Amino acid sequence: MSALLTAALFSLCTVLVSGQSPSFNGRFGQTANGAPFPQRFSWAASSMYVPFQDAQNITIAFSRVPGTGPSHFEIRVDSQLLESASTVGAGPTYVSVPLAGTGARTLTITKITEAALGEATVDNVVLDRGSFGPMRTNALGRRMEIIGASTMNGFGNLGSSSGCQPSYQACLLMLQDWHHPAEDAVLAVGPLVANHFGARFALLAWSGAGILKRGMIVRPGNGAEQTLVREAPTIPELYSRIIASDPGSSYDQSSFVPQVVLLDAGGNDFSNGTKPPSNWAADYRGFLQKIRSNAPDADIIVLSLPSNVKSPIMGQASAQMYAQALSQQVQELKGQGFKKLHLLSLPATVMQDNSLGCYGHPTQATHMEMASIVQAFVANITSWGPVGTGASFLYNN
């Protein structure tokens, strides 16, 4: 409906049609009849790239996927962040970006929040003057998969739960009214690393999920009024999906084979302060073996976050058990001949300013510090060098 409405409203403008295919970063499903829109955005830090030239003004139509919460987007032209958009209401949301100058450019639409919080469709992109295309390919052929739960999605990195109570209340508000993003996944450790190298990537994460655990996001409310927003899939389930929330959307792993896989997966299985069931270890190893069978030559990096970063989320005892379990499973797999598997234990010094984001999660500054160590590690095990500052959104399409 909104696509038709937009076409009617902007009938003097150029509307992107089938055949002028946009390109993507992250996992996206098929649209009906191969039309470019509506395109469902599910995963955090997933992007759509639309090439165009000589436009004076560009308008994007978004809708919230019914039954889900709001989604938050960033809109870039040639890697420069120009606008943000949120699908808060039930109806369509239109965002226009006026442009100066002419020439070939690339529009990048990036969802910065995860499916657990909400999903949305981009229903149309309309140009005032100018035309779509041509696609500029800068792809370096670098591919990463980033797998985990809240920390990998950057959950809480836009807020603060340290210090005074009012800022903690701001975190609660983010989840209560959903008008403010609780996270910007582009500023989380994995996407920071991928964008540093201009690598295409898929961020496969869901707050609360474990290898075994179906975590859940609960909207903070007045006691008994708390409502379950979404039950989480397990991380292995998430890994097999095209659309994060759709169990029936099976992903063709051969369509995107990463050279580097970065994981912080399984901590939520320990977050009870008790050891997870005895089959956790076998399931964890089974998951890594599944990743290996899909990406036979990938460097698989198991991130082990320091206790000062992990404990505020899951408790001291759980954080220690999780770190020990990761170390033990990686050692055992290596002992069984599992190649190119790395345990990367980050030092306590990654924690910046002794401060925390929402609900004890890492801040933007801590994510950046973690990313700088992971970048050095990835550069060391691959032959990848960095792309220019801010240019990354031109490279990972």
Report the interface residues with ligand NAG, using CB under 6 A.
10, 57, 59, 96, 98, 128, 213, 272, 274, 376-377, 380
Nearest of 345, 284, 272 to residue 309 by alpha carbon: 345
Maximal CA-CA distance, the chain: 65
Find the shortest distance in angstroms from Cβ 29 to ligand NAG: 28
Find the shortest distance in angstroms from Cβ 256 to ligand NAG: 26
Q: 78 or 128: whose CB is closer to ligand NAG?
A: 128
Q: 11 or 389: whose CB is closer to ligand NAG?
A: 11
Burial class (CB in 10 A: 0-12, 13-18, 19+), 278: exposed
Structural contact between residues 315 and 307, judged by C-beta atoms closer than 8 angstroms: no
- The one-letter code for the residue type at 79 is S
Give the position of tokens 């499903």.
29
Q: 15 or 35: whose CB is closer to ligand NAG?
A: 15
Q: 377 or 395: whose CB is closer to ligand NAG?
A: 377
Give the position of tokens 């759980």.
318
Find the shortest distance in angstroms from Cβ 338 to ligand NAG: 18
Q: 274 or 331: whose CB is closer to ligand NAG?
A: 274
Q: 10 or 338: whose CB is closer to ligand NAG?
A: 10
Q: From residue 79, how far is each of 47, 109, 261, 368, 388 by CA, in Å? A: 12, 10, 24, 19, 11
Find the shortest distance in angstroms from Cβ 135 to ligand NAG: 24
Find the shortest distance in angstroms from Cβ 57 to ligand NAG: 4
Alpha-carbon span 184 to 188, nearest angstrom: 7
Structural contact between residues 363 and 72, judged by C-beta atoms closer than 8 angstroms: no
Q: 46 or 63: whose CB is closer to ligand NAG?
A: 63
Angle at 76 between CA 103 and CA 161, to 5 degrees: 165
Torsions phi, psi for 186 (to 5 deg): -65, -25
Find the shortest distance in angstroms from Cβ 97 to ligand NAG: 8
Find the shortest distance in angstroms from Cβ 166 to ligand NAG: 29
Q: From residue 41, how far is each of 266, 320, 393 by CA, in Å? A: 25, 36, 17
Nearest of 271, 262, 371, 374 to residue 322 by alpha carbon: 271
Find the shortest distance in angstroms from Cβ 128 to ligand NAG: 5
How does DSSP classify residue 353?
A: T
Q: 20 or 59: whose CB is closer to ligand NAG?
A: 59
